Amino acid sequence: MVRAAILREPGRTPEIEDVCLQPLQPDELRIDVYAVGICHTDLSAIDGTVPLPLPAVLGHEGSGVVRETGSEVDGLEPGDHVIVSYDHCHECVTCKDGRPSYCQLFAPLNYFGTRLDGTTTLRQGDDEIHGSWFGQSTFATEAIVSERNAVKVPRELPLEMLGPLGCGLMTGAGAVLNVLGPKAGESIAIFGLGAVGLSAVMAAAASGCETIIAVDPVATRRDVAMELGATSVIDPAGSSDVAWDVMELSGPGCHYSVDCVGTGTVVRQALEVLRTPGICATLGLAGLENEIRIDQGHLLLGRTLTGVIEGDADPAEFLPQLIAMWQRGEFPFDKLIRTFPFEDIGRAISAARDGSVVKPVLTMG
């Protein structure tokens, strides 16, 4: 029997119950979940901002050990240690072009709560429980995942730390390293200092950015940003004009900016702080329907606004890169993590919501 945190009603904390995993399909793995991070997208699903069928099991920053493999799985075997990221088809044009985060089947593979054939990976008696959340649903002691989204890692690495690399940390770091690609000596402003924003700060520092301006209303997060490489921080609550304050710190403006909030006000500020030309990457999810207003003149003057999902990263290639950066001391993401026993999922979710912990991680041991 598998223990899983089941969300039965929007707005309620998932509760741990017994469930059963269904038999594996040929391309699937069954893993013993060792740990799983709590991501803002999980919170959005709990709140109903991201619609999904209920009852469901969330969790999409899992790490664990392979217990069983399907008949067609090649390259992974029982006993292997893995990080689990988002799922993708591996067959469409964008996947073959090396950009699986924009897979043409991204929504049904990650958000619909079922496999592509409509079956669920979880049951409770005669009742279906929706899983396959980001191809995993790892708020559970065991999970069924695809061979496409399981990334093998060396067994000597600490599994309790690695799960968040599969989504939130990859998103922030990937936006900087894969999309913006700053050069040494350039400048960047980062709005919102949760796990995604702080990952962007670390990636900017590793890239050699000379000016890294971090914006967030929470003092403790601004302090962490300075520890991780930010050169200046701004409290938007104490500023009469955030964009002007950033401009004063960056001369003619920043080469790049990253929005990790998603509100219209912040997206507009992130565009306004750019020099000409400059690029703003928006990552924050404030709802699937989220109208923002910008001045066309900001774009006509050579500025770019681009959306980024999952750091525009192929997990199989990018996660080993982030691990290598961590081992060299260039991406100290472990400073963001605090672990909670699985039974304390309610307390961990509260810590994520109130910002007292940047990246809560549930451990199953």
Closest CA to 133 of 5, 284, 315: 5
Take residue 80 and report the two structure tokens written for it.
């292997």
Strand pairing report for 2-7 and 142-146: unpaired
Give the tokens for residue 132.
């396959």
Type of residue found at 315: P
Name 50's Cβ contacts closer than 8 Å, sequence gap at least 6: 41, 44, 111, 285, 288
Distance in angstroms (rounded) separating the CA atoms of residues 134 and 292: 27
Distance CA 80, CA 87 (A): 19
DSSP states of 82-143 as a string?
EEE-----S-SHHHHTT-GGG-TTHHHHHTSSS-TTS--SEEETTEEEB--GGGT--SBSEE
**Measured between alpha carbons, how far is 251 from 131 in angstroms, rounded to an integer?**
49
7: which 2 tokens? 């969300």
Structure letter (DSSP) for residue 311: G
SS3 191: strand
Structure tokens at 171: 């998103």
For the chain, helix (H) and strand (E) counts, in that order, are 12, 18
Q: What pTM was estimated for this model as a whole?
A: 0.95
The pairing of beta strand 211-215 with beta strand 232-234: parallel
Residue with tokens 């962490």: 224
**What is the distance between the alpha carbons of residues 111 and 278, in angstroms, rounded to a whole number?**
33
Q: Is the bond into 277 cis (omega within 30 degrees of 0)?
A: yes
pLDDT, position 287: 67
Domains observed in the chain: 2-166+332-363 (3.90.180.10), 172-309 (3.40.50.720)
164, 61 in Cβ contact below 8 A?
yes
- Amino acid (one-letter) located at 52: L
Choose among 191, 171, 169: nearest CA to 257: 191
Residue 268: partners with Cβ closer than 8 Å, 6 or more residues away: 292, 293, 294
Quick check: 4 and 57 in contact, CB under 8 A? yes
- DSSP SS3 for 39: coil
Bond into 252 cis (ω within 30): no
- Which residues have CB under 8 Å from 71's CB, separation 6+? 26
Query: Are the C-beta atoms of residues 325 and 205 closer than 8 Å to each other?
Result: no
Q: How far is CA 185 from the centre of its chain?
A: 27
Per-residue confidence in pLDDT tens, the chain, 365 aa: 899 999 999 999 999 999 999 999 999 999 999 999 999 999 999 998 888 899 999 999 999 999 999 999 999 999 999 999 999 999 999 999 999 999 999 999 999 999 999 999 999 999 999 999 999 999 999 999 999 999 999 999 999 999 999 999 999 999 999 999 999 999 999 999 999 999 999 999 999 999 999 999 999 999 999 999 999 999 999 999 999 999 999 988 999 999 999 999 999 999 999 999 999 999 987 766 788 888 888 888 899 999 999 999 999 999 999 999 999 999 999 999 999 999 999 999 999 999 899 999 999 98
Q: What is the DSSP letter of 288?
A: S
Residues with Cβ < 8 Å from 197, sequence gap 6 or more? 172, 190, 191, 214, 216, 225, 258, 260
Question: Which among 295, 255, 252 is positioned nearest to 278, based on CA atoms?
Answer: 255
Per DSSP, the three-state class of 186 is coil
Phi, psi of 224 (to 5 degrees): -65, -40
At 285 the pLDDT is: 79
